[in-house]
Amino acid sequence: MTLNLRHYSLLALVAFLLALPGRMMLPPLDRDEPRYMEASEQMLLSHNFIDVRFQDKPRYLQPAGIYWLEAASTSATEKLFGPSILRKTWPYRIPSLLAATIIVPMTAWIGATLFGGTTGLMAAGLLMVSTLFVAESHMATIDTVLLLDILSIEAALLRAFMDRLKNRPTPLRVAVAYWLALGVGLMLKGPVVFIPGFGTPLALWLMERDRSWWTRLRPRWGWLIMLAVVIPWCLAIEIISGGDFFARAVGRNFLGKVAHGQEAHGLPPGFHLLVFGLAFWPGSLFAVLAIPSIWQNRKLPQVRFLLSWIVPHWLVFELIATKLPHYVLPTYPAIAILAAAGLMAWPSYSAPRWAKILFGLYGVLWALIGLVLCLGGSVTLYKLEHSFSLSGLLALGGSLPLLLCSIFMLMKQQRRQAAFCAMGAAVIAHAGLFLGIIPQLQTIRLSPRIAELFEDVRPCTNSILVSSSYSEPSLVFLVGPDTQLIGPAEAADYLHAHSQCSLALIDRKDEIRFRNRLLKYGLEVVEYGRVQGVNYSNGHHLDLGLFAPR
């Protein structure tokens, strides 16, 4: 089967539609997403597109590329919907949505180039429904956009590699695209992009002892294109920050993650392998089952290329101290292609008895993960809210039978049919989660509920919220960059100094200190409402009161 523009366009449309559910209703997710959104908003409000900031602090983690994209998408929607859109989450998520839309057909193209059209379609499907890809494509973080950039790098490398195999010239535009993508990657995430960008050709050279194809990418002058993309901003931020950006971004953030775990994310090697079963579900089992076929075909140039894509990146992030699941996301398209080749392009190879036992055990784990994904949303909703969601129950009713069908097909050794059923189960389960479960989890939606209460009772248009017991970035994004995150005694001091327009958010356990400090000023406060719930970032139960001076 040969894929054409119609196939790729249809894939892009399907990816776009699957990434839409719940996008406008979802509150800020994770701690990183609201930091990206707030920094992008402040960039728009301040018209400072060089120095990235979160409130009054510099955000020197990576260059400004992702903030430019989010600021651009939000600015475009602001012209249509007005300034109130700056407090909505969905405009900042547009770059991730568009990136996901392009990633899926690009994966299909790479798979089709290597193993044929049916393999490319299967690979695109496995990636499109994988848990981590779906989650990241719904958030306004850097990872989906970075994946698109790395996929572009690998696509250019693949074209040069295949041109060498077919003894045909590599067009100049391929080399320009490669170095341009490296430059864009530097603007997105800094030197991290060199791991796949240079790791893949280096691994291929080590395996083949032939680097002649590398010259097809014009390395003698191509690096000038890469530098032309990133140097102007680097010079500007060096001047503005007085060298502080590179000291923090490279010295502390990038190199610091190598030496020790940052933000309590230090874990031993093997973490990414351990969470792979969930992160790439449902494709994780089919990737594992493809291992014998991959080994049998390891000398094929196509397999060498994909392994050179996966192994260096995976090893680096297993060895560094700081570990988060999305660090190995750039390897998932290559893994999806190998898994798809095992299903569609290669015959099944017999594995030793011990391997069959291990595959069986992994299959049980895979089935349990699937059951959790199908059932977990409804169970969580009932446990936290003591209610059920109709759309969540419909999703459960659709996904669970498909999962059971997939398990049955696996037991009958019908892997292709099992993969199709599992992919269908994943689509329905994800739709139910984003449409019917997460929007109704009021217990953990503390920041949106606080923002609504604050908006209802604020005494002035420029009122400032002082929060001493709840300091999540999502609160800053939803309430405003002037939000004060300080202790209860300092909150009382601030309320005394700005008694006309300020409100204080205080947890029940901190009220005594807050009120005792207010007594020193002879100041009394009125409680305008309470918000109770769980801070999902740390699991703490909070009983927050909103106070203002009488």
Q: Which residue has the higher pLDDT, 525 or 288?
A: 288
CA–CA distance, 312 with 195 (Å, rounded to integer): 7
**Average pLDDT for 388-414:** 91
CB distance 547 to 528 below 8 Å: yes
**Average pLDDT for 288-292:** 95
Task: State residue 352 phi and psi, 5-degree precision.
Answer: -60, 160
**Average pLDDT for 219-246:** 93
CB distance 3 to 112 below 8 Å: yes
Predicted confidence at residue 264, as pLDDT, reads 46
The first and second tokens of residue 447, run together, are 């920041």
Predicted confidence at residue 34, as pLDDT, reads 93
CA–CA distance, 447 with 528 (Å, rounded to integer): 16
Task: State residue 543 phi and psi, 5-degree precision.
Answer: -130, 90
pLDDT tens, residue by residue, 463-481: 999 998 898 999 999 999 9
CB distance 129 to 12 below 8 Å: no
The first and second tokens of residue 388, run together, are 């059920």
Measured in Å, how far apart are the chain's first and last C-alpha atoms?
74
Predicted confidence at residue 21, as pLDDT, reads 82
**Average pLDDT for 6-29:** 89
Residue 250 has pLDDT above 90, yes or no: no
Rounded alpha-carbon distances, angstroms, from residue 7 to 42, 114, 151, 152: 40, 17, 19, 19
Phi-psi region of 404 (alpha: psi -120 to 50; beta: other; left: phi over 0): alpha
Could you tell me where the DSSP H helices lie in 250-389? 255-259, 271-279, 283-289, 291-296, 301-319, 332-344, 353-385
- Place 251 in a pLDDT band, splitting at 50, 70 and 90: low
Residue 260 has pLDDT above 80, yes or no: no
What DSSP character marks residue 481?
A: T
Q: In 10 A of CB 208, how many CB atoms?
A: 15
Residue 93 has pLDDT above 90, yes or no: yes
Close Cβ partners of 380 (under 8 Å, ≥ 6 residues apart): 437, 441
Residue 263 has pLDDT above 60, yes or no: no
CA–CA distance, 409 with 417 (Å, rounded to integer): 7
Predicted confidence at residue 266, as pLDDT, reads 59
- Beta strands 464-467 and 484-485: pairing type? parallel
Pick the closest to residue 382 from 440, 447, 445 (CA basis): 440
Least confident of 42-56, 248-262, 325-339, 440-454: 248-262
CB distance 183 to 225 below 8 Å: yes
Q: Which of 108-122, 246-260, 431-445 has maximum average pLDDT?
A: 108-122
Residue 340 has pLDDT above 90, yes or no: yes
Task: Note if the bond before 282 is cis, omega within 30 degrees.
Answer: yes
Percent of the chain's residues with pLDDT above 90: 71
**Average pLDDT for 439-462:** 90
Residue 411 has pLDDT above 60, yes or no: yes
**Average pLDDT for 388-399:** 86
Percent of the chain's residues with pLDDT above 70: 97
Residue 247 has pLDDT above 70, yes or no: yes
Mean pLDDT computed over every residue of the chain: 91
Close Cβ partners of 106 (under 8 Å, ≥ 6 residues apart): 148, 151, 152, 155, 333
Predicted confidence at residue 245, as pLDDT, reads 86
Predicted confidence at residue 549, as pLDDT, reads 85
Least confident of 55-64, 241-250, 320-329, 499-508: 241-250
- Place 392 in a pLDDT band, splitting at 50, 70 and 90: confident
CA–CA distance, 431 with 259 (Å, rounded to integer): 39
Pick the closest to residue 396 from 356, 355, 432, 357 (CA basis): 432
Q: In 10 A of CB 123, how many CB atoms?
A: 32
CA–CA distance, 542 with 540 (Å, rounded to integer): 6
Task: State residue 548 phi and psi, 5-degree precision.
Answer: -145, 150
Domains of the chain: 5-257+271-344 (no CATH), 353-440 (no CATH), 443-549 (3.40.190)
Predicted confidence at residue 314, as pLDDT, reads 96
Could you tell me where the DSSP H helices lie in 353-487? 353-385, 390-411, 415-432, 446-457, 473-479
| SS3 category, 212 | helix
Predicted confidence at residue 342, as pLDDT, reads 95
Residue 377 has pLDDT above 60, yes or no: yes
CB distance 138 to 23 below 8 Å: yes
Residue 241 has pLDDT above 90, yes or no: no
Predicted confidence at residue 394, as pLDDT, reads 85
Q: In 10 A of CB 442, how many CB atoms?
A: 16
Sign of the alpha-carbon torsion through 287, 109, 124, 66: positive
| SS3 category, 110 | helix
Question: How many residues are there in the chain?
Answer: 550
pLDDT tens, residue by residue, 138-155: 999 999 999 999 999 999
Name the strand (E) or helix (H) holding 269: none
What DSSP character marks residue 27?
A: P
- Beta strands 484-485 and 502-507: pairing type? unpaired
